[in-house]
Amino acid sequence: MKMISFAILTFWMVVHLAGCTKLEIPDQQALRDNNFDAGDVPDLPLKNINLPDGFNISVFASVHNARSLTMSPSGVIFVGNRSGNKVYALKDVDGDHVADKKYIIDKGLRSPNGVAFHEGDLYVAEISRILKYESIEDHLENPPKPVVIYEKYPKNGHHGWKYIAFGPDGKLYVPVGAPCNICERPDNEVYASITRINKDGSDMEVFVKGVRMSVGFTWHPETGEMWFTDNGRDMLGDNKPPCELNYAPEQGMHFGYPYCHGGTIPDPEFGKNRACSEFVPPAIALGPHVAPLGLKFYTGNQFPELYRNQIFIAEHGSWNRSKKIGYRITLVTLEGNQATGYSVFSDGWLNDTTQSQWGRPVDILVLPDGSLLVSDDYADVIYRISYTG
């Protein structure tokens, strides 16, 4: 009888699977995603994180490959995904600074790295298109099918993942990375740029050029002017070129790629075609190959006043440097529109002695209470950094 039952079960499985277009085998990550609670966080060596006196770090949420962050006015946190294929939403219902509800907004997407919230809708950037999930907060349990508002961005996977954000002008800003380490692409001016579109996807235009790979930009809280990070080219050695923090107060500026790096270094292949003096230099040179990604002006009231309207940058960390660098959060200080300093705010995700890392910061979000959220796609978490003095 048992043998007959087993045969029937085997036949049913064969027939059932044959009718499927894709065999999906549950794994531990999928189970964790669908059974999340506040206690489901990894055991991480947070004691190794260095912070200024009075600051504390804790885990806000566990999210696989946590990348870009955005927040609705009601406090729902939306999280993008690069190496995975999902977009998440998080809620801290009881206000204890730990997410206790997690929703999968969509899955099966192509590197949905970028997320932006605007007028009740969630916008998500895949490699080549922009999706909109309408009235998303009303449908967290049962998310709607997305509306494709734009689908003409290049399909290149190389530097194709995108950070997106709405600017003060109400337009959605979308970067397009160079499809290579170093190359000219005169056939399509959209490569190595930051573009912008209307919220309905119309009127796509290039905002600034000569940007190799930006995975983070923001606007000054008082002037409304753009600041963005840019990842420098590879294969020129350990110490050049620097990565960049750039200041873009107006449309049409060119920041040098692929002809000039860091404002002063002609490219060995393309530098003969254009002079560095033709381009806008960086507001400040960052560390070589630190891979700066998300950045935010600190606009909260919790941290000491010296941090107000200064820039926090998440440095993802080098991948091909003989001695690793980055894997930290840095601070750039400003006076007016001039960058005056660049220093480490928090580190400890990289062990300099063993050259091993256990985390890689990606994006930064300022919460209404003045604390910071920092995503980490390597440790699969989102941290909360707070100040108690």
Return d(Cα 48, Cα 296) in angstroms, integer: 24
Q: What pLDDT sits at residue 307?
A: 98
Q: What pLDDT sits at residue 161?
A: 98
How confident is the model over 73-107, as pLDDT tens digits? 999 999 999 999 999 999 999 999 999 999 999 99
CATH number at 45-387: 2.120.10.30
The runs of H, that is alpha helices, within the chain are: 2-18, 28-34
DSSP for 47-66, please give it.
GG-B--TTEEEEEEEE-TTE
Confidence band, pLDDT 50/70/90 cuts, at residue 21? very low
Residue-level length of the chain: 389
Q: Is the peptide bond before 241 cis (omega within 30 degrees of 0)?
A: yes
Q: What is the pTM of this model?
A: 0.90
How confident is the model over 54-64, as pLDDT tens digits? 999 999 999 99
Return d(Cα 245, Cα 264) in angstroms, integer: 14
Return d(Cα 151, Cα 270) in angstroms, integer: 31
CB 250 within 8 A of CB 280: no
DSSP for 281-346, please give it.
PPSEE--TT--EEEEEE---SSS-GGGTT-EEEEE---SS-SS----EEEEEEEETTEEEEEEEEE
